[in-house]
Chain A
């Protein structure tokens, strides 16, 4: 029984709460209340039940062999431990979560790389005072006027003016 107790890992609820994104906060609160309820229930139960005073019963009960028989059977009784059905499920969930987390982190890193590249481009741009229009079109390709598609001035559809 003491060995079961050590299986409980101390969960730092504060650190956990920090890491929860705002859109999952309600789920986190539900989890916390449930965990607290379970812990409270566990705390109310004493670890071992009160011992039975066999000598008193032996002196009190008239039937001669009854108490001895009860005592023998009681001491021989082995209560089976409840079976843990959720462990595999939780491990499977954890593996899934790790997978998706890895994929997410990879995608996130790719996004960070693209952002950094754009940031580099902006940081290394020459100041606008020194730019010619050609250099401006090079720096912001989306502003370049397509003279092949719209050969006549103003080189863009009238609606876009």
Chain B
């Protein structure tokens, strides 16, 4: 309590700046009264320094110029003797209780204090880490969302390509159709002309065959039996002559 009082008075006297560590990144809450709109300084990390657990350091610094280092101790001893000798403070049973309990308290704090402080600090660190993690994840999620939105906008920009492709398809189909029509016309005309030529060829061939057949038939029918006998006799005579010549050749 004493230390807090002195601390407050000290800060208001000296108008000190932030005692705590760290650079203030942005505006903290501002004092809202009309007289001063200055930003509130950050809270200090440690409490005020004390000597012997109770007496604030500022007290010793206060008396140092006038009485040196031993001044406050002399003051304390003298005050104690004055209180005891003038019986302003009476020693009774409760003094014993106070001294023993005070001793026990001091012993316990000295022994278990650091352990407990570590435990409390660990809890604090965990809370801090959780809050930090939440903040980091929020920041990263927001940044990723912004990225994603920009990417989607980039995608949307490409919508013209789709319509280019569609128009191309349509143009190609039309062109194909046109060419098919041209080809069909040409092919049809060619087919008709070729048909005419084939028809002519067929006619001529039929005429030829018919004429040949007719000539053959007339020749065969014109052969009389008398001519047939004569031709057969001539053939036999020719064959005999041929046989003779071939025999003569074989002998020679």
The residues of A with any CB-CB pair to B shorter than 8 Å are 1, 4-5, 7-9, 11-12, 15-16, 18-21, 31, 34-35, 38-39, 41-42, 45-50, 52, 57, 60-63, 66-67, 70, 74, 77, 79, 81-82, 84, 86-87, 90, 93-94, 97-98, 101, 104-105, 108-109, 111-112, 115-116, 118-119, 122-130, 132, 134-135, 138
Contact = CB atoms under 8 A, between A and B. Distances in A.
A52 B183 CA distance: 11
Contacts of B182: 48-49, 79
A122 to B, nearest CB: 5
Nearest to A135: B29
Interface of B: 20, 22, 24-26, 28-29, 42-43, 45, 128, 131-132, 135, 138-139, 142-143, 145-146, 149-150, 152-183, 185-187, 189-190, 192-193, 196-197, 200
A15 B155 CA distance: 10
B181 A79 contact: yes
Most buried by A among B146, B156, B190: B156
A19 B161 contact: yes
B153 A4 contact: no
Given A4-B171, A126-B28, A82 B161 contact: no
Contacts of B186: 49-50, 52
Contact of B142 (A67, A86, A119): A119
The 10 closest A-B pairs by CB, nearest first: A19-B158, A49-B186, A124-B26, A130-B42, A16-B161, A82-B177, A45-B179, A94-B163, A49-B183, A119-B142
The B interface is mostly helix, strand or loop, or mixed, namely helix
A11 B159 CA distance: 12
Nearest to B128: A128
Nearest to A61: B196
B183 to A, nearest CB: 5
Contacts of B185: 49, 74, 77, 79
Given A108-B153, A125-B135, A126-B26, A119 B146 contact: yes
A21 to B, nearest CB: 6
Contacts of A66: 196
A11 to B, nearest CB: 5
B189 A74 contact: yes
B143 A38 contact: no
B193 A4 contact: no
A66 B145 CA distance: 78
Contacts of B190: 52
A21 B152 CA distance: 8
Contact of A1 (B164, B178, B189): B178
A20 B185 CA distance: 43
Contact of B159 (A77, A82, A101): A101
9 contacts: A4-B175, A4-B178, A16-B165, A45-B176, A46-B179, A49-B182, A79-B182, A112-B149, A122-B139
